[in-house]
A and B are shown apart, each in its own frame.
Chain A
Amino acid sequence: MNKVIISAKKVERIYSNGIVRTYALKDVSVDIQQGEFVAIMGPSGSGKSTLLHQLGLLDNPTNGSILIDGEDVVQLSDDTRTRFRLEKLGYVFQSYNLIPELTALENVYITPMARGMPEEEYTAKAKEMLTKVGLGDRMDHYPSELSGGQQQRVSIARALVNKPKILFADEPTANLDSDSSADTIRLFRQLNKEIGQTIVMVTHEENEGKQADRIIWIKDGIIDKAKK
């Protein structure tokens, strides 16, 4: 239970728009254990999403190193990072980000399909995941035919269908009503308990953060050590 799965050292991310340089992350070092449920919290604009994107291989830091599962992911080529995301990582975004042209079921099975899983297997897996998040009866609906909470559950099913090593979630409840929010966090908690799912979740809600094993506080692009 105490294997370090993410180890970020002195991560820096500077956005340069012409002459304006924004230090979104200045110097962040964090270790996350396998099986840990971590919440990232902090004021708006503090760099939470930026940190999640670096750890989740959706962006590249301007400086620093990130090891995931022992592999230096910053150095990897674009294609290798893409494969890494497909095989080891799962994402839940605030705005769901489902593909509107695909049904709930297809949105979930597109990644196992891309991994080369046989059709019966990925269909069964996707159905199982959707049933688990309570959408067994909505599998053939397109995202536009689903409520926000239902879409978020589809995106959770998509994130988990490949049994990722790490699940990243950026304010997964921000667009949901309080019931759906509570459901989502309960589901995360449950996954973490039952299968030891490693979860890194950005949130604004203190009560959500409290349900995680640990809160990493960010302020102005650095770890806010004053909070505990």
Chain B
Amino acid sequence: MADSIPLVDYLVLGDDPHLIAHECTSCGARYFDRRNACAACEGTNFTDVEVPREGVLKTFTIVSFAAPGIPVPFVAGVVDCDGTSVRANVINVDPDPEHVRLGMKVKLATYSVGEDANGVEAVGFGFEPV
């Protein structure tokens, strides 16, 4: 039995954690969720591609009120990974506008979400300043 499980299925754990996207083989549109078809071209064939681990923070917010169990404040944003946009938190940074800036370079990082009753660790991802 695995000791760890990714928070979402598009996070690949191991020595070199990375994200994968489902890329439409007809038009190249990329998605992170399970697909019925391509929203851009109606194609139904997808191939998994690796998303670059570094990117640019193209927008963010610092959230002060969140769902129960989510520590606040935290930084939520969108990272442009060489043309593929990824939704993520910015982690390992002071959550204030002095330390988080539009256009800053960030790279993928993982962290522990917690353990379940069987001792299996769920691992999440975020992006941290380079």
A and B together in one complex: no
